[in-house]
Amino acid sequence: MIPRTGLPWQVGEWRKQLAAAVREPAELLRRLEFSPTAIRRLLPAARTAAEDFPLRVPDAFIALMKPGDADDPLLRQVLPLGAELADSAGFVTDPLAETDAMAAPGLLHKYAGRALLITTPACAVHCRYCFRRHFPYAEARGMVEHWRAALGYLAVRPDIEEIILSGGDPLSLTNGRLGELLTALRTIPHLRRLRLHTRLPIVLPQRVDVDLLELLARQPWPVTVVVHANHPNELGPDQRLALAALRRYGITMLNQSVLLAGVNDDTDSLCRLSTALHEVGVLPYYLHLLDRVTGAAHFEVDEDTARELYRQMAVRLPGYLVPRLVREEAGAAGKTLLADN
């Protein structure tokens, strides 16, 4: 029976798929039908790089990759490479000095009116360029238990109107756990907006089950979900169903991308990403320059190229399909806008 959401998957099915996510570089390469020679070439570096920051990718994302193509834009985002081991000047472990901006364990209060809660350290996918790849999650580990400290801080800061659940990935929590957190947040009278930053609808669309949709829809605040897709190939049929379902439940849907060399640093990919998102009710929000985190230098696109790509997008797309090109700077009062023509 097709449930009334029109979603072809069951509540909770995602948890099995998350548990079955690929964690071994060799397995990923075999699934993608790489030749034994290619595997021998890629594997040693992949294994070494994975020691620092393990590989993790769910099947739903692998299914969108082109078999045997080492340059596949989705594979590049998740496959550990030897290039990660190179030291690069200016690339550091905590580029945003986030550890200094902690108002309470796991709570970042850097920008006016908004606080960001690192709800859980867990992610369904490990993106090689992640700026939190060296985040001291172990120290913040008790955070699930210490939500109370974050809630205590929020309660005495009436200037905070928006709570942003981020991570890790807040949707790697179960609906039950997320529901508990939302219930606690509802006791804070000055909160006016709820936002979730999540990559799960893209890498594991089955996460968007009817219980989650109903949980979000019954919150008293306007809910915004900011997903994270970088390339139009990330929007397969299941991803489209999940995104459109969130939209149907009244959620404002936005996307943020990171500009990544060898993944989406061409006008065509960026324009197709915007139009494909729009088809399922998602508007582009931010296009981030890479945060200069150790191990990610090979993804960097220089600012002039970024501005030029932005200009070309602005020529080809309606204004509402052009994301804001931004960079994050430690200590700034908000994202720094790079182009505004």
Ligand X SMILES: *Cc1c(COP(=O)(O)O)cnc(C)c1O
Residues that bind ligand X (CB under 6 A): 108, 110-111, 114, 116, 164, 334-335
| DSSP assignment string, 171-220 | GGS-HHHHHHHHHHHTT-TT--EEEEEESHHHH-GGG--HHHHHHHHTSS
Considering beta carbons, is residue 35 or 336 the nearer one to ligand X? Answer: 336
Least distance CB 132 / ligand X (angstroms): 10
114 binds, among ligand SF4, ligand X, none (CB under 5 to 8 A by kind): ligand X
Which residues in this chain contact ligand SF4 in the complex, by CB under 6 A?
Answer: 123, 125-127, 130, 132, 167-169, 199, 228
DSSP letters of 208-224? --HHHHHHHHTSSS-EE
- Closer of 163 and 203 to ligand SF4 (Cβ): 203
Least distance between ligand X and beta carbon 109 (Å): 8
Could you give the C-alpha distances from 335 to 96, 104, 196, 329, in angstroms and in order?
A: 11, 22, 17, 7
Residue 334 interacts, among ligand SF4, ligand X, none and using kind-specific CB cut-offs from 5 to 8 Å, with ligand X
Task: Identify which of residues 169 and 328 has a Cβ nearer to ligand SF4 in the complex.
Answer: 169
DSSP code per residue over 102-136 = EEETTEEEEETTEEEEEEES--SS--TT-TTTT--
Q: How far is the CB of 136 from ligand X (least distance, A)?
A: 16
Of the pair 217, 332, the CB lying nearest ligand X is at: 332
Note whether 150 and 82 are within 8 A (CB).
no
Q: Which of the choices ligand X, ligand SF4, none does residue 169 contact, using the CB cut-off of 5 to 8 A by kind?
A: ligand SF4
109 vs 128 by CB, closer to ligand SF4? 128
The strand pairing partners of 102, in sequence order, are 108
